[in-house]
Amino acid sequence: CALPKDWKAAKRSVVVQDGATGLWTREYFNNCRIEGELGRAKRHGRPLCFILAHFGHQDGANEPETLHETLISALAKALPTRHSDICVRWDDRTFAVLLPETDLDGAMIVAEGLQYRFVNIDEKLVVEIGISHFDLDNQVEALPAFAETSLAVARDTGGIVVNGRPVSSEELAQPVAQA
């Protein structure tokens, strides 16, 4: 964990858990968690996927703050619960999920499940998802950046985007070809 040597200063400077959801914060994830998981995947040649799931309402309306926090809390509870998965409050309307030991097919299943569960919580939600995966040919450190790029494409096109490429509904029913 890349925290200052002075632990007391570290406790004051890094917020570990998001108050509304109990999930890891993006700051803690970036400073303390991702490096170890990426290193493990690289060292052992194991699969690793990263999902960013953004939500908003179909009509573009913002809900009142109290309703928003209630919705955020409910959505956080719908995130994967495998012990090895790392769920993060990425920003106000985005969650991140790091999936160790998960290939692209597995990540697609998780992404589809997220979309389904989120929309079941609030049928007016639009959920866009960006996915990136680690393979031995790409820079493991760029995994979050690849997911951010995929999410940006998903926000423009809707749906699920894998490694910058939108996935059609027909492809969702098929196994995903590793890029």
Write out the DSSP string of 88-118: EEEETTEEEEEEET--HHHHHHHHHHHHHHH
pTM of the predicted model as reported, rounded to 2 decimal places = 0.80
Least Cα distance to 108 among 49, 152, 41 occurs for 49
Mark the ranges of the chain whose per-residue pLDDT is less than 70: 1-14, 59-67, 135-141, 164-165, 168-179
Q: What is the pLDDT of residue 162?
A: 81
Residue 107 has a pLDDT of: 92
Expressed in percent and rounded to 5, the helix, strand and coil fractions of the chain are 45, 25, 35
Alpha helix locations (H) across 14-168? 26-28, 34-44, 65-77, 104-121, 143-157
b/e code 64-94 from CB counts within 10 Å (16+ = b):
eeeeeeebbeebbebbbeeeebbbbbbeebb
CA distance 141 to 100: 14
Q: What is the pLDDT of residue 111?
A: 92
pLDDT on residue 61 = 61
